[in-house]
Amino acid sequence: MKTLKTWALDGQDATGVTLTLGTRGQLRIAVLEDALFRVSLVRDAGWRQGRTWSIAPDGDTPWEGRSRDSVEGFSCPGFTLDQGESTLTIATGAVRLTVSTPLCLTWQAFHDGAWVTFAQERPTSAYMAGIRDYRHSHFLLRRPGERFYGLGEKTGELERSGRRYEMRNLDAMGYDAETTDPLYKHLPVTLTKTPDAGSYSLFYDNLATCWFDLGNELDNYHLPFRAYRAEDGDLDYYLRWSPDLLGLVKGQARLTGGTAFPPRWALGYSGSTMSYTDEPDAQVRLNTFLDRLAEYRIPCDSFQMSSGYTSIGAKRYVFNWNTAKFPDIDSMTASFADAGVNLVANIKPCLLKDHPRYDEVAEAGLFITDSEDATPEISTFWDAEGSHLDFTNRATVDWWKSNVTTALLDHGIASTWNDNNEYEVWDDTAICAGFGKSIDVSLIRPLHSVLMTRASEEAQIEHAPDVRPYLISRAGAPGIQRYAQTWTGDNRTAWKTIRYNTYMGLGLSMSGIFNVGHDVGGFSGPKPGPELFLRWIQNGIFHPRFTIHSWNDNATANEAWMYPEILPQVRDALALRYALVPYLYTLLYRAVTADEPMLRPTFLDHEQDARCFEQSDDFMLGRDLLVASVMDEGATERRIWLPANVTGWWDYHAGTWHEGGQEITLPVDLGSIPLFVRGGAVIPLAEGAARADAASGARVLAVFPAMGAQDGTSLLYEDDGQAADALDGNHCLIMARLSGDQALKLELSMTGAYTPGFDSVKVVLPRGEKRILSANGISVATGDIVTLGAT
């Protein structure tokens, strides 16, 4: 590769400037928002891949992708341009960028009344580009006191300093949640917290394999640096500054198209296991699951059917029903529907060479093809060989939608689990149709998981246009969150996995992927013991996706009732989950409409508290709930740092108030689920809920006042749980404004076209709160009912 050093101003337009780089092409700098700049290296031959499926400020991209030259969806504000003898400065009111010689970019923000440097490229070889290929590298200085976050579901600690990470989607079954890399998703975004100049994010819009080095590598010839290296594709990055990290998280979600809005039932407990559908009497086993739910009084809203339903022998064949295992598909799906349990079926994007329909698909030209002879590419898949469907071919999309419809939707299975979609096609020159303009698979490998899921979503919407679809995808790239919920893949059963999966979920959330979860109990490895299984459940209930799933080494299934000695504690955990569904659903609404992350590290809401940046197992669920799960075997106490704030924290269970900015130690037993509430919050709850998707039923407003004066508003979002037009006005918002000091005042108002299935709420206070409370002008005691009024 060659270092890019010399530059000259070539031109200016309404969105930015173009610099010539001698014979190496152009560096384009675009001002997209006051605090969002884009820098692109365009070779003399033009873009290596001139389309993007990741950038979607308007909510989505066309199927064939968005032109990299497009600035639609951005405000493109005015900027100033000053040229010196060997420098060029581009500035908005928020960010100032200086280009110096040799080529090096320095970024400043107007912060606390002055221009402060927040990022600077390495002054020696900031940019390197391949001479005969499209490899490229980008280097920045590592500055003392910086903290690095992002990169999606990476293993290890949430703060990424000192490690090297690879983006190359893999089916990493049984991974070590502390060390394994790479994993399932390609999310090339970092967030950097500076010690004195706010924070900034760097998002590289490139789907080719790449690496991030955040301090692992040292080179005597350069100052301490961080590196991004890619083996192909375009160097095209978006740099955003914000005074806080939360602004970056929300901005990344908006940049890549926002978050899908699934039905409310997706927030309930979801059962799953490989073992049921692998059994010769699979239909009987699935129906037995329904019987056990009733027998053990376990609430459940969905069941994820593993791929054994498609088997012929030991192999899986997508869209093939094994009718020996499932002799009456429609009666089985009817049984689940009658029980209120939604079925979600596993589907895979690779057809093994002996798939009954392989020749049909090959003749139709629906596979990715070998570049040498235009035959279907052949890759290893599920201990055999097969060919991957090409979702950049509209005919493939149509074929997929048709089969999702006939194999699943027409049988009453309304949701899809898009699995094994990492696209491990290692022939880099294999050809994708590219919707009419062919593309090497190496440039868009992770895109196929996104387009596969989009095709499944389109089929579901066309089949049931009045209902919001629900989809899951294991693999993904930026934009997967526009269509599906995701999880951290096939984890391994171990105590440490609870802890490190939690960090992985927070990493996804900080990368703009909010609707996430983990396989509770562990997917691969030994069967979890009673204590480990219980602690996993007690932590899992606080994640958007709450699924108990397994493929244990001894072929057993992780089931909520598998250990009678902990069944009471399991029921208690599930009861808490279902009580929290109105709060979770409101968080989901805020994620969709305001790009607010659901899972949050404590520092995301408490940046003023340096202690929150220390490694911790505590995390926030929304801005109001502090979760402190017990994650250690045999624990008898749990130390918790209560973030510094002016409102304090309430123990959710004990009803005691604690001042913020202190560490407390709680005694714990097997039933303990430590949970704290921010003072001043009003938490919406369901009372006695047996289903997450219940449109009616009692609602509780749990009022947790601050100590001292307060004036804040909390929200409860309600709709019928599934309507496709919910966000178009078919919903209501219940606002709860809490104010006062010695006497507390709660004002409730309701707006919106939807009429909920309740016209009053129960108001409750923590046991330790003794002040007088009035609600809508009427004095109330804890447990009193307050009638809602529309405004």
* pLDDT at residue number 693: 77
364 in Cβ contact with 332 (< 8 Å): no
Q: What is the mean pLDDT of residues 142-167?
A: 98
Order of all β-strands in the sheet with 784-787: 681-686, 699-704, 760-764, 784-787
pLDDT in tens, 605-618: 999 999 999 999 99
pLDDT in tens, 644-700: 999 999 999 999 999 999 999 999 999 999 999 999 999 999 998 778 877 667 899
pLDDT in tens, 396-440: 999 999 999 999 999 999 999 999 999 999 999 999 999 999 999
Return the percentage of the chain with pLDDT > 90, whole number.
96
**633 and 703 both lie in a single domain:** no
- 777 Cβ contact partners less than 8 Å away, ≥ 6 residues apart: none
644 in Cβ contact with 606 (< 8 Å): yes
**63 and 195 both lie in a single domain:** yes
Does a structural domain hold residue 412? no
pLDDT in tens, 745-784: 999 999 999 999 899 999 999 999 999 999 999 999 999 9
User: Does residue 529 surpass a pLDDT of 80?
Assistant: yes
CA distances from residue 362 to 312, 378, 384, 414 in whole angstroms, order as listed: 20, 12, 17, 28
CATH for 613: 2.60.40.1180
Does a structural domain hold residue 756? yes
**717 and 774 both lie in a single domain:** yes
**63 and 145 both lie in a single domain:** yes
Domain boundary among 255, 285, 310: 255
User: Does residue 790 surpass a pLDDT of 60?
Assistant: no
Q: What is the mean pLDDT of residues 24-51?
A: 96
**54 and 139 both lie in a single domain:** yes
* pLDDT at residue number 383: 86
Does a structural domain hold residue 668? yes
CA distances from residue 442 to 207, 209, 438, 771 in whole angstroms, order as listed: 8, 8, 12, 64
Q: Angle at Cα 559 formed by Cα 520 and Cα 474, nearest 5°?
A: 40
* pLDDT at residue number 555: 87
pLDDT in tens, 541-556: 999 999 999 999 998 9
User: Does residue 12 surpass a pLDDT of 50?
Assistant: yes
Quote the DSSP letter at residue 491: B
User: Does residue 22 surpass a pLDDT of 90?
Assistant: no
- Residues pairing with 344 in the sheet: 304, 415
The model's pTM is: 0.98
- Chain centroid to CA 182: how far? 17
**774 and 742 both lie in a single domain:** yes
**766 and 636 both lie in a single domain:** no
pLDDT in tens, 450-487: 999 999 999 999 999 999 999 999 999 999 999 999 99
* pLDDT at residue number 710: 92
Does a structural domain hold residue 716? yes
Domain boundary among 677, 694, 709: 677
Longest dimension (CA), the chain: 81
**146 and 244 both lie in a single domain:** yes
Does a structural domain hold residue 156? yes
**102 and 202 both lie in a single domain:** yes
What pLDDT band is residue 788 in, cutting at 50, 70 and 90?
confident
Does a structural domain hold residue 482? no
Does a structural domain hold residue 633? yes
> Residue for token digits 């089916």?
171
Instruction: Report the domain count for the chain.
Output: 3
Q: How far apart are CA 564 and CA 553, in angstroms?
A: 22
Burial pattern 66-76, b for ≥16 Cβ within 10 A else e, equals: bebeebebbeb
CATH for 223: 2.60.40.1760
In single-letter form, the type of residue at position 160 comes to R
Phi-psi region of 450 (alpha: psi -120 to 50; beta: other; left: phi over 0): alpha
- 472 Cβ contact partners less than 8 Å away, ≥ 6 residues apart: 304, 344, 415, 416, 417, 418, 419, 484, 485, 486, 487, 545
**664 and 702 both lie in a single domain:** no
Domain that holds residue 60: 2-255
Peptide linkage before 182 cis (omega within 30 of 0): yes
- Chain centroid to CA 555: how far? 30
**156 and 236 both lie in a single domain:** yes
Taking residue 758's Cβ as centre, other Cβ atoms within 10 Å add up to 14
Q: How far apart are CA 626 and CA 136, in angstroms?
A: 42
**664 and 715 both lie in a single domain:** no
Does a structural domain hold residue 339? no
User: Does residue 38 surpass a pLDDT of 60?
Assistant: yes
Q: What is the mean pLDDT of residues 706-727?
A: 96
Domain boundary among 228, 255, 282: 255
pLDDT in tens, 280-311: 999 999 999 999 999 999 999 999 999 999 99
* pLDDT at residue number 791: 44
What pLDDT band is residue 23 in, cutting at 50, 70 and 90?
confident
The two structure tokens encoding residue 322: 């094994």
CA atoms within 13 A on the CB side of 191: 29
Q: Angle at Cα 696 formed by Cα 695 and Cα 701, nearest 5°?
A: 105
